Amino acid sequence: MQVTTINVKSSDNNTYVLIQDNQSIVIDPSCTDGRIQHTLSGTQLKAILLTHGHYDHFLGLNALHRLYPNAPIYCNHNDWDFVSGDAMIFSSQHLMDISYISQQSLNDIDSGHYTFGNFNVETFSMPGHSKGSVIYEIDHQLFTGDVLFKDSIGRCDLVGGSDKAMQQSLRLFKQFNDDTIVYPGHGSATTIGNERRYNPWLIHLIGR
Ligand SMILES: [Zn+2]
Ligand SMILES: [Zn+2]
């Protein structure tokens, strides 16, 4: 499986394009300048996966949905109101041209196993940053959204956030091997081993 990281400089958001046997998956289409479409060209897009419902993670969703109307869009139902614009999380949101999408176009995803074309996706519900935050394990690689970053974690003070839920979610990272690659929603990629040793929020929970 080939993983392409597309970074939006202004917000340091990462979009991930996964390609395997001419089939593809997009995780968090935050990029709006055509790089996602360019990376996807010649592949069959099997699914668009959101790690959670914050707008900076789906600014490119509408454009992608128009181009690939048959590719199902997945997001945990607890964050649907953010994606459809029925919930306002940041005041600056009113000033921005957000790429909202109707809830009829969304599919729910929760902890469990999913198959999209040739891709096997294990999903883990990890509330704390938002109620509907999930992470995806695909081919022994983790796509962690705003739950886990290199040397940091997502904030818990936004609507739907919870420090307590975040602590419980972070404990779930214990089940992954140290060499598991972590692709976060913002910033550089890392490994579970690195985070277990150096991430101040993980050290006391699952450190060694
Ligand atoms: Zn977020
Ligand atoms: Zn974010």
Task: Kindly tell me if the per-residue pLDDT of 5 is higher than 90.
Answer: yes
How far does the centroid of ligand 2 lie from the alpha carbon of residue 11, in Å? Answer: 8
Interval between CA 144 and ligand 1 midpoint (Å)? 11
Query: What is the Cα 34 distance to its own chain's centre?
Result: 19
Residue 99: pLDDT band with limits 50, 70, 90: confident
CA dist., res. 15 & res. 27, Å (int): 6
pLDDT category of residue 115 using cuts at 50, 70 and 90: very high
Ligand nearest to the Cα of 129, by number: 1
Tell me the mean pLDDT in the region 74-91: 86
53 in a structural domain: yes
At 93 the pLDDT is 55
Ligand nearest to the Cα of 147, by number: 1
CA 70 to centroid of ligand 1, rounded, Å: 26
φ and ψ at residue 173, rounded to 5 degrees: -70, -15
pLDDT reading at 3 higher than 70 = yes
Contact indicator for 197, 190 with CB cutoff of 8 Å: no
> Over 60: is that where the pLDDT of 80 sits?
yes
Residue 156 CA to residue 140 CA, distance in Å, equals 27
Model pTM score: 0.96
Residues in the chain: 208
What is the distance between the alpha carbons of residues 64 and 17, in angstroms, rounded to a whole number?
12
Q: How far is the CA of 71 from the centre of ligand 2 (A)?
A: 23
Question: Residue 72 pLDDT > 70, yes or no?
Answer: yes
For ligand 1, the distance from its centroid to the CA atom of residue 208, given in whole angstroms, is: 28
76: containing domain:
2-88+100-206
What's the rounded mean pLDDT across residues 163-175?
A: 97
Q: Does 94 reside within a domain?
A: no
Residue 135 — very low, low, confident or very high, per pLDDT cuts 50/70/90?
very high
- Rounded Cα distance between 186 and 142, Å, is 13
Look up residue 108 and give its two tokens. 């729910």
The pLDDT mean for the chain works out to 95
Residue of 92 and 5 predicted with greater confidence:
5
pLDDT classification of 86: cutoffs 50, 70, 90: confident
| Residue 95: per-residue pLDDT | 57
- Taking the CA of 57 as reference, the closest ligand is 2
The answer to whether position 135 is within a domain reads yes
Distance 154 CA to ligand 2 centre (A): 8
Q: 57 CA distance to ligand 1 centroid (A)?
A: 7
Residue 161 CA to ligand 1 center (angstroms) comes to 10
Does 200 map to a domain? yes
Q: Of the ligands numbered here, which is closest to the C-alpha atom of 30?
A: 2
CATH number at residue 114: 3.60.15.10
Encode pLDDT of 172-202 as tens digits: 999 999 999 999 999 999 999 999 999 999 9
Q: Which residues pair with 48 in a beta bridge?
A: 26, 73
| C-alpha of residue 23 to centroid of ligand 2, in Å | 26
Number of domains composing the chain = 1
Domain assignment present for residue 198? The answer is: yes
pLDDT for 146: 98
Summarize the confidence of residues 61-70 as an average pLDDT.
96
Instruction: Compute the average pLDDT of residues 27-47.
Output: 97
Question: Where are the strands (E) in the chain, listed by range?
Answer: 2-8, 13-20, 23-27, 44-49, 73-74, 106-107, 112-116, 119-125, 134-138, 141-145, 148-149, 152-153, 181-184, 190-191
Assess if residue 95 is contained within a domain: no
* Nearest ligand, CA 13: 2
Residue 50 lies in a domain: yes
Q: Find the distance separating the first CA and the last CA of the chain, reported in whole Å.
A: 31
CA of 21 to the centre of ligand 2 (A): 30
In this structure, is residue 58 part of a structural domain?
A: yes
Span from the CA of 175 to the centroid of ligand 1 (angstroms): 23
Give the ligand at the shortest distance from the Cα of 184: 2
